[in-house]
Structure 1
Amino acid sequence: MLTIQRTPTARRYVFFDVDGTLIDALDNQRRVWAAWAMRFGLDPEEVYRVALRTRPMETFAVVAPDRDPRACLAVLHELEDQDVRSGVYKAFDGASELLNGLPPGSWALVTSNYAHRVRGRFARTRLPVPAVIVDAAAVEHGKPSPAPYLLAAECVGAAPAQCLVVEDAPPGVQAGLRAGMTVWNVNVPVAVAGAHQHFTDLRDAADDILAFVSGS
């Protein structure tokens, strides 16, 4: 259940995506989708190629149109939960220092994953967990819809103009832009179209993120 902060604790706020932004989960995603593909007798490389650019239900429709999508999703969730328990995760360089350096209440997580998996990954990588996590279960429409970021702003008691979004992928960048927020793009070699600033890695963005939140 989301925590609503009725009284703002900061003048500015930062909302982080998780996978690809704070935690490097690319290898984990590839392994999960490979295991999923093997369960259904499909080509792992082809499944992963589709999964990279679509949401799970859309992936199932393309690679397994004759299968029950609910059964497909149940298997995917099973494998993802197993990976959270046994997979190897790594936080991006500078993530721990950045999150621990932010004032309490000034930041939140906005993810297309589920909160219990995020908490599990954060525990494994020893990252601090904020009071607010907007996950896939919190909104009807995920990224690139602005709904997840607008809900995060509501939870911390902020206007969109007070908020910075930090994202790695196009759907998240578009979600932040559509929410009317400042959007910075990290951990990719080439900037995603529309992002207000681009940093090739998270550590390079850390000082600017801290300065944004402090209003300096």
Structure 2
Amino acid sequence: MTRERVQSDFGKYVLFDVDGTLIDATDNQRRVWKTWAGRYGLDPDAVHELALRTRPMETFAEVAPDRDPQECLAVLHELEDEDVRSGVYGAFDGASELLSALPPGCWGLVTSNYEHRVRGRFARTGLPVPGVVVDAAAVDEGKPSPVPYLLAAGRLGAEPEDCLVVEDAPSGVESGRRAGMTVWGVNTPGGVDGVHRHFTSLREAVPDILAFVAGG
């Protein structure tokens, strides 16, 4: 899908991960993987634990090496799409206030998920969707490669050094760091290795994120 570059007069920009950062999808992901594992007669807890650390194709290779990975992926996508339609989602405390306060053109989303699911979850939680969304379909190399965050910066018309990345996962932190951006971690009890600053919650980070964008 072709995207036009968003032009902005802002000097600072912020790029958000989605799941685990803005949207609390932990229970949803657990249910999806449990259902997926049941389809193949696998231990749901073991599958989910592995899926937290690996990308889907790597998970399939480990837990179902005798299965067609494309078939496994198609089943997973079917379950995830159904969960977007019928699952219960919640935005993290502070997400609505933060995104509503950010001027259009100075922020975007960088996700390993797909844009239609992000839009569905945002619609369910009432969060605004920015003009720039870089999803799994937009790049050949996902996180921890720097490519997704560099693409988002380019679409915003921003230099990497002027971008703040807000993440909750090691692969996303590494992606932002390799892109040459400032990286803050949220929603984890302890700081993720590599972050420049750590906040135990998104709510705690809201004033500082707004100050960053304002040039403070």
Task: Determine the C-alpha separation between the residues in 1 that align with 2:19 and 2:44.
Answer: 21
Normalization by structure 1: what TM-score?
A: 0.98
SS in 2 for 1:20: coil
What does residue 130 of structure 2 align with?
130
Task: Determine the C-alpha separation between the residues in 2 that align with 1:28 and 1:178.
Answer: 30
TM-superposed deviation, 1:193: 1.1
Q: Is the 8 A contact 1:90 1:125 kept in 2?
A: yes
Structure 2 matches for 1:1-216, cutoff 5 A?
Answer: 1=1, 3-5=3-5, 7-216=7-216
Structure 1's consecutive aligned runs of 4 or more residues displaced over 4 angstroms after TM superposition are none
The unaligned stretches of length 5 or more in structure 1 are: none
SS in 2 for 1:123: helix
Aligned length: 216
* Structure 1 residues 43 and 206, CA gap change in structure 2 (3 angstroms): same
Q: Is the 8 A contact 1:113 1:136 kept in 2?
A: yes
RMSD across aligned positions (CA): 0.8
The unaligned stretches of length 5 or more in structure 2 are: none
SS in 2 for 1:153: helix
Task: Determine the C-alpha separation between the residues in 2 that align with 1:46 and 1:158.
Answer: 41
Q: Is the 8 A contact 1:167 1:173 kept in 2?
A: yes
Task: Determine the C-alpha separation between the residues in 1 that align with 2:31 and 2:9.
Answer: 40
- Which whole-Å deviations, capped at 9, do the CAs of 1:110-157 have from their partners, x for residues lacking one? 000000000000000000000010000000010000000000011001
Normalization by structure 2: what TM-score?
A: 0.98
Task: Determine the C-alpha separation between the residues in 2 that align with 1:4 and 1:12.
Answer: 20
Identity %: 72
- Which whole-Å deviations, capped at 9, do the CAs of 1:39-80 have from their partners, x for residues lacking one? 111110111111010000000000000000000000000000
Q: Is the 8 A contact 2:6 2:132 kept in 1?
A: no
Task: Determine the C-alpha separation between the residues in 1 that align with 2:174 and 2:126.
Answer: 29
* Structure 1 residues 85 and 97, CA gap change in structure 2 (3 angstroms): same
Task: Determine the C-alpha separation between the residues in 1 that align with 2:67 and 2:132.
Answer: 36
Q: Is the 8 A contact 1:91 1:125 kept in 2?
A: yes
Q: Is the 8 A contact 2:5 2:155 kept in 1?
A: yes
Higher mean C-alpha displacement, 6-15 vs 84-93: 6-15
Task: Determine the C-alpha separation between the residues in 2 that align with 1:112 and 1:6.
Answer: 21
